[in-house]
A = this chain, B = another copy of it.
Amino acid sequence: MTTYIKTIGELPKLKDPIFIEGLPGVGNIGRIAVGYLIEQLKTVKFAELFSDHFMPFVLIHQSSAVHVLKNEFFYWKAEKEGQNDIIFFVGDSQSIDPAGHYEIVEEVLNFIEKLGVKQVVTTAGLSVGEESKDEAVIGVVSDPPLKERYSNLGIDFDSGSKIGTIIGASGLFLGLGRYRGMEGICLLGETSNLPEIPDPKTAENVLKILVKMLNLEINLAELEEKIKEMKKFMKKIESVQTKALAQMFSDQMKQKSGEGEELKYIG
């Protein structure tokens, strides 16, 4: 099956839409920040992405209904001067193997290119250890001149080169999107947490910059509560994912010592 996108109803007609990515990653910064925007704005889900590069399991909801792992596309239409139409891209998982990251990002780029996207904003966390005050949001761009455009938003553009690398979708959307004429910026919220611990404070830092950048009117008061809900769900996926992988691995590799007489290795 590889990777495919299933649209829901008609594709939206959007004017110069900006693409905002918030997939799971370090501290779930991006997932929390972009997830909150999706809830607060009147967004419409219009497509879902499935991939055999996700873990081969379903999650069980409180209602005893299954949930297959997926990524989702939402759109929002500008409501006043100075705003842009937006496509939000969030989801349960990133690829579990290296090649899948490329495949999923290319599939999404094909899709959003047709929808007219020329600007890409990705979000991520940056695990910097205890010295961090969890305040800086570091910016990395597809091309140096872009730093100018985003210069008055409080983004730290001096530390990008210290990072070295961005693993997964947040980096590849910029790196590959660039070859399609898309301008891109990645917002990396510094966190002192371990990568697997969700960090709502850092997510809020990223969220505030997104709000300014996109000229949105968002009430941040409900953030704390929403984060609690999300944390529970994301924790479950992550816990399940690592355990499942460990389980599959040990199942395949372990030797059942008592049953071996009948097997001889033959080539």
A→B interface (CB under 8 Å): 1, 6, 23-26, 30, 50-53, 55-68, 94-103, 106, 124-128, 139-144, 147, 157-158, 160-168, 170-172, 174-176, 178-179, 184, 186, 188, 195-196, 235-236, 238-249, 251-256, 259-260, 262-267
Contacts and interface: CB of A to CB of B under 8 A. Distances in A.
A231 B174 CA distance: 25
A38 B188 CA distance: 35
A63 B143 CA distance: 9
Given A139-B64, A161-B61, A255-B246, A267 B175 contact: no
12 contacts: A26-B266, A30-B267, A59-B164, A66-B141, A94-B267, A125-B267, A127-B264, A166-B266, A167-B244, A239-B263, A244-B263, A244-B265
Nearest to A109: B1
Contacts of A265: 26, 127, 167, 195, 244, 247
B262 A253 contact: no
Given A61-B160, A65-B141, 19 more contacts: A25-B267, A26-B266, A50-B179, A58-B171, A59-B164, A64-B157, A65-B140, A66-B142, A66-B171, A66-B174, A96-B252, A162-B262, A164-B263, A170-B267, A195-B251, A238-B259, A241-B252, A242-B252, A242-B254
Contacts of A254: 242, 246
A138 to B, nearest CB: 8
Contact of A6 (B59, B125, B179, B236): B179
